[in-house]
Structure 1
Amino acid sequence: MTRRLIAALAGLAALAPTALLAFDLPPEPPKAIRQHIGLYGTPDAPLVVYEKDGRLWADGAGVKAQPLRQVTGDFYVTDAGDPRAILFGEGAEVGGLPVAKRDFGAETAAAIQSKVRADPKALRARAAAATPPAETPKRAADLVSLRGLPGVKLDIRYATTNNFMGVPLYERAEAYLQRPAAEALARAAQRLKAEGYGLMIHDAYRPWSVTWMFWEATPPEARGFVADPAQGSRHNRGAAVDLTLYDLKTGKAVEMPGRYDEMSLRSYPDFVGGTSRQRALRDLLRAAMEAEGFAVYPQEWWHFDHKDWRDYGIGNVSFSELAR
C-alpha cells in the first residue's frame, strides 16, 4: 500500500466519531476468587465457574447459574442451599463427585498440532494443489494494508508458530482488508481511543489455501470453529478481521474470557465465564466494532465480519504477491 493511501486512512481515522461508549470497567477479582475460575468436567457436560459482582458463580454439573457462598476455605455452597456443595482443590468436587479442571482449547490445539507437525510440507503441498470454488463476485477486490493505521497494531499469529496449528502459515506478518472494511476499522479504533484502547490485529484477509489446511487438520468435532473450504471463508473475501483490544499506555493486549483461536466454550461472544472485567472488555470491543458496521461471529468473540463481506469473491493471493 502506498504512503499516500496510508495517510488517507490515517486522516480518515482522525476525523472519525469520538463518542464515548457506555463503559464502566469492573475491578479485578481477588486471587482467592480468581484461582477457582475456569472450566471443569467434560466438553459435553462442563461446569463453568466464574466471577460476577465480586463473587464466585457456578453453572453446570446440576447447578443452574447460582452464586456461591464461602463456608470455609475452599468449601462453597449455593445461596439457595443446593445440596451439591462445591469443594475446590486440584479440580473440584460437586456433591461429592470429582470434576477435573480442564483447558479444552489447549487440548484440542495439542491434538491438531501433533497431526500437522507430522508432515507440514505434505499438508502445504496438498493445499497448493487444491482449487478454490468458482464464484462471480459483486465487487472487485481492493485490499489495503492495515499497517500504520493510528490505534492499530499487528500481532499476526499465522506468521509464527503461536497459533492453533503450531506452524507458520503466512510468509509475511501482514494484514489486509477490503478498503471499506479498512476504513470502518479505522473509525472503530478512533472510538476506542477515547477509552484508552487500541485494536490489535491477529488476522484479516486469509488466502483460501490456508483455510483448506485449517479444515483438513481440525477434527470433525471442532470444525465449527473453522470455515469449510468448499464454501470459502469470510476471511478469504478480505472482509473479516480477528482482533482484540490493547492498552494504549502499555501496548499490551487485554485479558479476555478466552484466548484467541481457542476452540472451546470460552470463545463464544456470550460465554458467561471468566471475570466481570474480562466480559466488559469483550463487550467494549464488540460495541466499537458494531458501531462501524461489523458483526461478531456467533462462535468467536474476536472475529468480526464487515457488513459487505458477501459482495467479495474468494481470494487465494499470497501475502508476497500482495506486498508487490
Structure 2
Amino acid sequence: MRIRIGAFALVAPLLIGLALSATAFAQPLDAAEMAAVGQYGQRAAPLTVFERAGVLRIDGQGRRDARLTPLGRNRYRIEGGGGELVLEPVAVRLDGARLPRHDFGAEVEAGVRAAVRADPDALRARALAAKPPVETTEHRPADLVDLSTLDPTLRLDIRYAGSDNFMGLPLYERPAAYLQRPAALALARAAQALKAKGYGLLVHDAYRPWFVTWMFWEATPPEDHMFVADPAQGSRHNRGCAVDLTLYDLKTGKPVEMPSRYDEMSGRSYADFIGGTTRQRAMRSLLREAMVAQGFEIYPEEWWHFDYKDWRHYGIGTKTFSELAAAR
C-alpha cells in the first residue's frame, strides 16, 4: 500500500527509528540469503525476496509480506499462506515452479540504449528543432542558483553529462546543477539537517533543459513513460524545481545503498517498494524525511526525485548549462 506524503511526514521519524533499531539488533543473513534479495518471475507480477530485521520475506505471487522460515539446504517454509520456497543461484522455486531472477531495470535500460544507438545525432537534432509548449500563465522570473556554490557537503554526480545514464550518452555539455533560488535554499537546509546525522547529499540532476525531456520521452518505451515527463506538459525539472539525489556517508564519502539504482526503470524504484534490505529502506526514509521537511514532495515512482512545492510558479526552461554559465 502506497504511503501518502502527508501521512508520511507525520510517521517518518518513527518509521526511521524503528528501521534503524531493527538493523542494530538483526542477525545477519548468510551470503546465499543476501544474494537472494531481488526479484523473480515476470515483470508484470514479480516475486520479491527481501530482508527485514535479519529475516528473509517474500511479497507477490499470492503472498503478501510473508516470512520465510529455514528448513535447511536453502529450503524455506512460507509462513501465513503455506508452501515452500527453495533458493537457487539465479532463481527460486516456489512450490516447485522455477522463477528466474531478473534485473528488470537493466533489461529496460538495455532496450532504450539499443534504440538510441541507432542514430543519437538524429534524435538530438529532432529534439533541438522541437518547440516547447506555449504557456499563457504568468510565472515568476527564473532565478537559477548553481548548487555547487551553496554548501560544501552538497556533491554533484551529474549522470547526464556523461554516458552513465539510462540513455547511454552525454546529454549535457558540462556537469552542473541548478535550482530556482527558493528550492536551492531549501535544499541547503536539508543538507545541513543531514550533516548532523553523518550524511551528505549527492545530486544527480536538477534543472533540465526542455529538449532533453523531449529526448527522454522519445527514447523510452510507452509502457515505461511513468519514469519520464511528457514534454507536451513540460517537467518540473524543466522549471528548475525538481532535483534527483541520494545520500552519501560523510566519513567514507561513499554513496549509501538504496533499494534500487538511480534512474532504474522498475518497480524497485517506487518510493514505497517493499523490497531490498532494512538498512536500504531506512536510508530511503531518512532522505525522504529530510527533503519533505524543507518543502519538497516525493515523486511516487522514483525514490530519488523530489519536487519543490512552488514548481507551478515557474515556466519551462530551455537554456543550456553553457548559456546559464555565460549569463553569470
The TM-score with structure 1 as length reference comes to 0.91
Partner deviation per Cα, 1:247-303 (whole Å, 9 max, x = no partner): 011111100000100000000010000000000000000000000000100110000
Q: What letter is aligned with 1:143? A: L
Q: What letter is aligned with 2:267? A: L
Corresponding residue for residue 36 of structure 2: 36
Q: What letter is aligned with 1:287? A: E
Taking the TM superposition and a 5 Å limit, the aligned residue runs for 1:248-259 are 248-259=250-261
Corresponding residue for residue 6 of structure 2: none
Q: What letter is aligned with 1:256? A: M
> Structure 1 CA distance, aligned partners of 2:45 and 2:274?
15
Which residue, 272, 275, 300 being the options, matches 2:274? 272
Q: What letter is aligned with 1:171? A: E
> Structure 2 CA distance, aligned partners of 1:81 and 1:316?
54
Structure 2: where are the runs of 5+ without partners? 1-12
Q: Is the 8 A contact 1:51 1:273 kept in 2?
A: yes
> Structure 1 CA distance, aligned partners of 2:116 and 2:81?
49
Q: CA deviation at 1:64?
A: 2.1
> Structure 1 CA distance, aligned partners of 2:311 and 2:153?
23
Corresponding residue for residue 216 of structure 1: 218
Q: Is the 8 A contact 1:150 1:189 kept in 2?
A: no
Q: CA deviation at 1:162?
A: 0.3
Corresponding residue for residue 294 of structure 1: 296
Corresponding residue for residue 313 of structure 2: 311
More helix by share: 2
Corresponding residue for residue 92 of structure 2: 92
Partner deviation per Cα, 1:163-195 (whole Å, 9 max, x = no partner): 000000000100000000000000000000111
Corresponding residue for residue 199 of structure 1: 201
Corresponding residue for residue 126 of structure 2: 126
RMSD, aligned CA: 1.2
Corresponding residue for residue 182 of structure 1: 184
Corresponding residue for residue 160 of structure 1: 162
Q: CA deviation at 1:65?
A: 1.5
> Structure 2 CA distance, aligned partners of 1:39 and 1:95?
17
Q: What letter is aligned with 1:86? A: L
Corresponding residue for residue 4 of structure 2: none
Corresponding residue for residue 142 of structure 1: 143
Q: CA deviation at 1:81?
A: 6.3
Partner deviation per Cα, 1:39-86 (whole Å, 9 max, x = no partner): 111111100100012100001122222000010121111123612x11
Corresponding residue for residue 72 of structure 2: 72
1:63 has 2:35 as partner? no
What SS class does the counterpart of residue 304 from structure 2 fall into?
strand
Structure 1: where are the runs of 5+ without partners? 1-20
> Structure 1 CA distance, aligned partners of 2:123 and 2:64?
44
Q: Is the 8 A contact 1:175 1:205 kept in 2?
A: yes
Partner deviation per Cα, 1:184-237 (whole Å, 9 max, x = no partner): 000000000111000000000000000000000000111110000000011000
> Structure 1 CA distance, aligned partners of 2:183 and 2:152?
15
What SS class does the counterpart of residue 263 from structure 1 fall into?
coil
Q: Is the 8 A contact 1:160 1:167 kept in 2?
A: yes
Corresponding residue pairs, total: 303
Q: CA deviation at 1:104?
A: 0.4
Q: Is the 8 A contact 2:63 2:81 kept in 1?
A: no
